[in-house]
Structure 1
Amino acid sequence: MSVYDFTVHTSRGEQKPLSDYRGKVLLIVNTATKCGLAPQFKGLEQLHQKYKDEGLAVLGFPCNQFREQEPVKDSEMQETCQINFGVTFPLLGKIDVNGPDADPLYKYLKKEASGFLSSSIKWNFTKFLVDAEGRVVKRFSPTTKPNKIEGQIRKLLEGAKTETPVG
């Protein structure tokens, strides 16, 4: 099993198979526009701009589970984040990351990369780095700034370029 086995919903309610990102390094983040960590949108966008042509995809999953800090409707999410934070990377449909209604993708991510003391997502802007094979490589805390992950992203992108295709 890998991240590519999951299908998520776009902010328009359409299904989006993560297999569409096969061969890319992914940075998956639960986001919230009213969170004190929302300035991280800028750092995530910088990573997106710098590495998207080399095979990085940043995927934002809005979540309203932490003090209701994501009041924006799915239909307005991409535009709101573009206007307020300059975001051009995909923001998918709003999800739960914890509890009985947690999105299956997040159940998988938490199982593959448990957090400190428990697997629960502690707050907005928890980040999961996924290699080009769809394997979860590492989990980063909400307070880890995106630029602190850049070196690991570069290593994964370099590794993806040097791998010999099978077949």
Structure 2
Amino acid sequence: MIGLLAAFALAACSGGGVKPSLDARASSAAVAVANGTIVIGTNTYVFVMTCYSPGTGAVVAVGAGIDPVSGHSTRALVQAFFDDPYVGVTVGDKESVFEPTLAEPVDLSFADNVVSGNAIQFVRNLDLASRVGEPVGTGSVTVTCSSYNAGLPPGYRS
């Protein structure tokens, strides 16, 4: 478990032209207790998240849930790194991918085993070449990590 006494403000523009893969999968050892919430516009997605500690002050959380509108399965990736924070939700078999716009910075904080962020401008189906996606609303993220796996999730690619 990461023993951090200070809150780390993680802020950066996710506009590096490369986005993390949403194909990372939660550990099969994850206990089925919802510990993550991502709000996108008027929809609230609830996830069972597994937290990973790739290094001091950095957290990656991956998880699964159900789309509140369609009932399809969902996957989430929350990357709380100093230089490249990210929040992404995939619905179904990549039917829709929601992630932050590249036009605004993503501000995440990590304190007391909680990753959180507010006022995130989400888009659907972001095109990295044009840096444009369909706006879907403002949202937030909260993930509570009660334990951590060392390293990065299986299948994680940055």
Q: Please, what TM-score do these two structures have when normalized by structure 1?
A: 0.30
Q: Which has the higher strand share?
A: 2
Q: Which has the higher helix share?
A: 1
Q: Please, what TM-score do these two structures have when normalized by structure 2?
A: 0.31
